[in-house]
């Protein structure tokens, strides 16, 4: 899919100027990464991946292993994410009907539009996996070309594909020819340098509908500052819709991503951990509406309870009692509630224990008169704006 027309020239001219004035490199911002002036409000149309797949608002929940399962995807869609993406699934497993891979291909009616992310490096296998994904009702299929984990890249998967643009073209050509749903890909700025434009062009030549770029190289991992300049370069030089990813954790950083790069949509990854409310913030700001108040402790309790009930419905009470611990810590990180939670974690074995742990965390916050991190950060941004 090519870029939309209309206001493109105005947006490009504005963003080129912004790259010079918005604080690149991020080291110049005070405080580092999150500081600097908050840009003026931005306007973005919904991102159209095809005639029938529209991302509205243009804000996407990133694929994250062991996080973006159906319960959390449903919560984030409810909070305003325009598109949610599954955790990455082995293409070979889908192509052969492997039970574990097929179990991960769990799509619910209430989460559309939803994309399924797959990983692999054989065009024929990726095409077969895409057929399985389309048959299961996904709205799009996404190719992982950004995972930096050693166990992935040593098999020439994930971010290793950034080194082979021609293979990338072949993969997208095979997948786009095999299915009618949009085929997209998630990349990094490069392997150890800025290779994104070459890879983006290979994707476009192969029939991709859009590219998401995380503005760090594979060598960077998750360290340092995201490079907004390379994201902007991809916007300017590749004929694809571009989704900007990296260091977006609230409405202000989303504005900075949009303004500085000219991207068509933003993707939120670690900024959504324990903070699904980030999507309603960004959606409201894009719509020109006041950013909603941060969640109260009662609001948080209700959302966490819904999240945990969906988890139990999906995975059962025993699995939820174990896996919920990381989510609960994310919800209360940096607050007095985190300490109260840690005292309870080892004893969580059922839903009642989860409810009691959350209540203990909320009570610790009440007594200290302190909100969890997501809400505190939101209020600080409101004062700064």
Question: Is cis: bond before 135, omega within 30 of 0?
Answer: no
- Distance from C-alpha of 261 to C-alpha of 244, rounded to nearest angstrom: 8
Mean per-residue pLDDT for 240-268? 96
Give ranges for CATH 3.20.20.70 in the chain: 8-286
Task: Select from 267, 308, 299, 351 the least CA-distant residue to 69.
Answer: 308
pLDDT of the residue at 35: 54
- Distance from C-alpha of 21 to C-alpha of 4, rounded to nearest angstrom: 26
Question: Is cis: bond before 25, omega within 30 of 0?
Answer: yes
Take residue 189 and report the two structure tokens written for it: 């700025």
DSSP 46: P
pLDDT at 385 over 50: no
pLDDT of the residue at 374: 55
Take residue 179 and report the two structure tokens written for it: 């299915």
**Residue tagged 């209540």 (tokens):** 359
pLDDT over 70 percentage in the chain: 87
- What angle do helix axes 297-315 and 317-332 make, rounded to 10 degrees? 150
The answer to whether the CB of 219 falls within 8 A of the CB of 191 is yes
- Distance from C-alpha of 204 to C-alpha of 195, rounded to nearest angstrom: 15
Fold adopted by 8-286: TIM Barrel (3.20.20)
This prediction has a pTM of 0.89
What does the radius of gyration of the chain's CA atoms come to, in whole angstroms?
Answer: 20
pLDDT at 316 over 90: yes
What is the torsion angle, in degrees rounded to the nearest 10, for the CA atoms of residue 296, residue 302, residue 305 and residue 306? -120
List strand residue ranges (DSSP E) for the chain, in order: 47-48, 54-55, 59-61, 83-85, 89-90, 114-119, 140-145, 183-190, 210-217, 241-245, 265-268
350 given a catalytic annotation: no
- What angle do helix axes 165-178 and 123-135 make, rounded to 10 degrees? 40
pLDDT of the residue at 381: 47
Strand, coil or helix: 318: helix
The answer to whether the CB of 290 falls within 8 A of the CB of 84 is no
Task: Select from 184, 235, 176, 213 the least CA-distant residue to 4.
Answer: 235
Give ranges for CATH 1.10.1200 in the chain: 297-368
The answer to whether the CB of 186 falls within 8 A of the CB of 63 is yes
Mean per-residue pLDDT for 42-60? 97
Instruction: Give tens-digit pLDDT for 38-48.
Output: 899 999 999 99
Strand, coil or helix: 200: helix
Mean per-residue pLDDT for 349-357? 97
Instruction: Give tens-digit pLDDT for 224-238.
Output: 788 899 999 999 999
Question: Is cis: bond before 245, omega within 30 of 0?
Answer: no
- Distance from C-alpha of 76 to C-alpha of 328, rounded to nearest angstrom: 16
Please tell me the least confidently modeled range out of 25-39, 83-97, 213-227, 354-368.
25-39
Question: Is cis: bond before 57, omega within 30 of 0?
Answer: yes
Please tell me the least confidently modeled range out of 170-184, 187-201, 345-359.
187-201
Give the strand pairing for 47-48 and 54-55: antiparallel
Mean per-residue pLDDT for 185-207? 92
Query: Which CATH class for the 297-368 domain?
Result: mainly alpha
pLDDT of the residue at 194: 64
Choose the catalytic residue: 76, 110, 147, 344: 147
How many angstroms from the chain centroid is the CA of residue 179?
24
pLDDT at 174 over 80: yes
pLDDT at 251 over 50: yes
pLDDT at 383 over 60: no
- Residues, the chain: 385
pLDDT of the residue at 18: 35
The answer to whether the CB of 118 falls within 8 A of the CB of 141 is yes
């Amino acid at each position: 899919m090519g870029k939309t027309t209309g206001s493109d020239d105005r947006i490009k001219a504005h963003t080129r100027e912004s790259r010079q004035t918005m604080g690149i490199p991020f080291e110049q911002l005070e405080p580092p990464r999150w500081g600097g002036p908050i840009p003026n409000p931005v306007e973005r149309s919904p991102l159209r991946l095809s005639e029938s797949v529209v991302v509205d608002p243009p804000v996407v929940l990133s694929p994250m292993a062991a996080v973006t399962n159906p319960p959390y995807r449903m919560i984030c869609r409810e909070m305003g994410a325009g598109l949610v993406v599954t955790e990455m699934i082995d293409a070979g497993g889908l192509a052969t009907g492997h039970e574990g891979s097929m179990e991960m291909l769990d799509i619910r009616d209430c989460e559309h539009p939803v994309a399924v992310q797959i990983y692999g490096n054989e065009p024929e296998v990726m095409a077969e996996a895409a057929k399985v994904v389309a048959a299961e009702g996904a709205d799009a299929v996404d190719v992982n070309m950004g995972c930096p984990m050693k166990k992935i890249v040593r098999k020439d998967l994930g971010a290793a594909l950034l080194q082979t643009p021609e293979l990338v073209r072949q993969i997208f050509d095979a997948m786009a020819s095999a299915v009618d749903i949009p085929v997209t890909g998630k990349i990094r700025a490069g392997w150890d340098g800025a290779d994104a434009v070459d890879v983006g062009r290979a994707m476009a030549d192969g029939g991709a509908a859009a590219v998401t770029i995380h503005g760090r190289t594979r060598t960077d991992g998750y360290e340092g500052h995201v490079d907004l300049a390379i994201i902007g370069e991809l916007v300017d030089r590749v004929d694809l819709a571009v989704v900007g990813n990296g260091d977006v954790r609230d409405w202000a950083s989303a504005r900075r991503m949009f303004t500085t790069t000219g991207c068509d949509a933003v993707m939120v990854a670690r900024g959504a951990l324990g903070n699904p409310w980030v999507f309603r913030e960004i959606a409201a700001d894009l719509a020109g509406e006041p950013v909603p108040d941060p969640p109260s402790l009662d609001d948080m309790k209700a959302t966490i309870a819904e999240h945990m009930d969906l988890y139990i419905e999906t995975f059962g009470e025993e699995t939820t009692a174990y896996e919920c611990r990381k989510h609960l810590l994310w919800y209360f990180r940096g607050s007095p509630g985190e300490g109260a939670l840690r005292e309870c974690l080892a004893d969580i074995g059922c839903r009642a224990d989860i409810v009691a742990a959350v209540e203990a965390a909320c009570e610790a916050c009440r007594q200290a008169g302190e909100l969890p991190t997501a809400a505190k950060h939101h209020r600080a941004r409101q004062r700064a704006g």
